[in-house]
Structure 1
Amino acid sequence: MRKYSNRQQKKKRYALSTLIAGVIFLMIVFGILLVFTANGKIRRVHADETSTISAQQTRMQSMLDQVVAQADHTPAATALPEIQPTPTAIPETVASIVALDPADWKNWPILPQTISQKMIDIYRTGLEKGNNPAAFSKVGDSNSVMPSFLSCFDYGEKGYAIGSYTSLEETIQQFQWSFSRESRATKNGATALDLDGYHWYEDDICWPYESATTCEYRLWTPSIAFIALGTNDAFMRIDIFESHLRSLIQKTLDRFIVPILVTKADNLEGDDSFNSVIARLSIEYEVPCWNLWRAMDSLPNHGLREGDVHPTFNQTSLCNFSGSDLQNYGWTVRNLTALQALDRVWHLLNP
């Protein structure tokens, strides 16, 4: 009995040991399976997250590319493509404007006398690309905002008295509704830096990373643009003004729009250095220049309000060319000579 009992106890211990070993083995196997399963899930989750993030990044990059592609880049002296002009005879009035001396800008004619072949090529290519031959834009400060600047020509006899300048009626009809348009690139106190910079989308009309000037060109697709700046820039370094004016000119040309640079009537800087820059860049880029400074020079107080940079005006009209206003008021002269400059450039571009 005792031997049998010992054998039985040994069998029980052996069975218990086997059971424990089996349980431990199963626990190890289960643990291994659990680890592999968890790793698989982690890999799948990580892969899913990576795929999702990658897809989101792709979509965001695509959207950014679309915005940036249509937005404003400051080009570094971008070379314009060579354009083969149509075989049209060039009139005698077409010549390089480099004959003008930028140091003698005060004696330049008020209106452009010639146009460069480069500008004719720019203009024609712009029309081929969709620029509107009946639209122009304004880029400037408070002296370029509506209703003061040019708006009168969209209101017929109630807006202006043409006097002896009846030949300008054709240009008024050609560019109807550009005169009174509220340009996205004009603003009180604006500088060249302001109109060249980004983030001009406070009203959700202009896009992020788009300058006021590019926004205006995108919305209006003009063929010609006035660029009249420098007054408010006189409170900053002249090299900053020149840098941003260059950029604005280049951006205008890159969109195959013909710019008309404008000398300013004031001399806030004291040495006329900002007008010297404007004149020099008009020669360098071969773009037409409207010499407003000379047009206003013979007026009382240079056509400016006392202690101010804004033109004097007749309270009854800014565009009465039939009486004595042209001998007395800055706004009358500014509006007439602007219309004449537009008329001259348009006809030079379309001989």
Structure 2
Amino acid sequence: MRTFWLMILSMLLLVTGSFAQEDDPTVTTSFRQAYVFAGPGATYRDVGILNPGVPIKIIERNKVGNWVHVQMYDIDGTVTLDGWIITGFLNYPDELRFSEVPVNPFLPDAETGSVESGALAELYAEPMAGSISPLMRAVLEQGIDAGRDPYLVTKIGDSLIVSDLFLNLMNQTDEILGPYDTIATAIDAFTVVDDSIANDIGMASFSVLDPMWAQDEQCQSGETPLDCELRVHQAGIAFVMFGPNDVRSMDEERYGREITTIVETALAVHVVPVLATFSVHPDDELYWQGINFNRELVRISNEYEVPLINLWAAAQILPEYGLDEDDTHMQNSGFNFLKYDSGHEAWYGMSLYNLLALVTLNDLLTMIEDIEGAS
């Protein structure tokens, strides 16, 4: 038995040595045992288990970068494990940059055929951070013509996003991005409104449309918090998050109407609204109500062609679905700056949400720069 394990150790050392000679930043190891899947998501079938410390090579990634396609090789170069792993389980080499790792354009973020529930399959079918509709280009152009700042971002929501830990960290300069150099340009380009009039604790999808809640001295008589915010700060992009609290006070039909009104109000004044599904714990007594709320968000996003972040789907593999102890708010990493050098996006819901938001902003930035280049 001792001889057998010595042979195994020798083989691992030889493989590790050959990788090290290549000095390839896409060669790494995991720091924990992890399942490997046939595609970039846990709905794909699992194809094996990766043990910590075993060398693997990153072949490609998904659009966001939070899943990577890896291969493990035998001593003679034969592929012995081939599949996808959540990136946050890996040790990140210092020189690893996702801008240099190819993106797989073919595999979707989920294999919906393996999902038994039609409602859940409907949600899984939406990408974590989808492409931006050409219709939003027109909205951005009209906003620029109307004097809006396309590089200014505001927040419309309740306590889920009122914290400075969501998006506002972009206003700082102390981020540590690790391999996620792909989001650096978005961080540099955009500024986030610090005191959105339409984002507060206790706000709801209906109260943001109610003039009685417009208490800010900058608001005009009869103006709703949403109208007031969109007028006062003149942001070109608005991230919208309502749902986990609304689910306890209304049904999905009313929720759909309120979100539709928010979207229509933003589009009417040439603001791009970015919607997001929200994480729901399966043990929550209102779980299926939350699922139906998320389905409404998907429907509205598709109907109006506005950007959608599928946080619900992305967070399914996170511990406790990315939620804090109250099963409502997203869990924070404890760091008060953007930190993506140690896999936080695989453990903390807020880190994941920020990452998906930055990927979406990066897509919008490309569109904005194209508009400015054509003018």
TM-score of Structure 1 vs Structure 2, range by shorter chain: 0.5 to 0.7
Cα–Cα, structure 1 residues 315 and 119, in superposed 2: closer, same or farther, change >3 Å?
A: closer
Q: Distance in 2 between matches of 1:234 and 1:343?
A: 31
Deviations 1:75-130 (A, max 9, x none): xxxxxxxxxxxxxxxxxx9xxxxxxx9972223111122x3332211211111111
* Alignment match of 1:183 (pick from 149, 171, 196): 196
What's 1:220 paired with? 233
* Alignment match of 1:141 (pick from 138, 147, 158): 158
Structure 2 residue 355 is matched with structure 1 residue 336 = yes
What's 1:105 paired with? 123
Aligned pairs for 1:6-17 (under 5 A) are: none
> Quick one: which amino acid aligns to residue 247 of structure 2?
A
TM-score by length of 1: 0.66
What's 2:141 paired with? 124
What's 1:165 paired with? 180
* Contact 1:195 1:213 survives alignment (8 Å): yes
What's 1:196 paired with? 209
* Alignment match of 2:219 (pick from 191, 206, 209): 206
* Secondary structure in structure 2 of the residue aligned to 1:199: helix
* Secondary structure in structure 1 of the residue aligned to 2:151: strand
Structure 2 residue 335 is matched with structure 1 residue 309 = no
What's 1:20 paired with? none
Q: Distance in 1 between matches of 2:225 and 2:167?
A: 20
Q: Which runs of 5+ in 1 are unaligned?
A: 1-92, 94-100
**Runs of 4+, deviation exceeding 3 Å:** 348-351
* Alignment match of 1:245 (pick from 259, 263, 268): 259
Q: Distance in 2 between matches of 1:239 and 1:316?
A: 38
> Quick one: which amino acid aligns to residue 171 of structure 2?
D
* Alignment match of 1:289 (pick from 308, 312, 323): 308
* Secondary structure in structure 1 of the residue aligned to 2:150: strand
* Secondary structure in structure 2 of the residue aligned to 1:156: coil
What's 2:96 paired with? none
* Contact 1:191 1:232 survives alignment (8 Å): yes
CA RMSD of aligned residues (A): 2.2
> Quick one: which amino acid aligns to residue 333 of structure 2?
N
> Quick one: which amino acid aligns to residue 228 of structure 2?
C
* Secondary structure in structure 2 of the residue aligned to 1:190: coil
Q: Distance in 2 between matches of 1:165 and 1:287?
A: 25
Task: State which structure, 1 or 2, has the greater radius of gyration over its C-alpha atoms.
Answer: 1
* Contact 1:200 1:206 survives alignment (8 Å): no
> Quick one: which amino acid aligns to residue 125 of structure 1?
Q
What's 1:22 paired with? none
> Quick one: which amino acid aligns to residue 122 of structure 2?
D
Higher percent of residues as strand = 2
C-alpha deviation, 1:318, in angstroms: 5.5
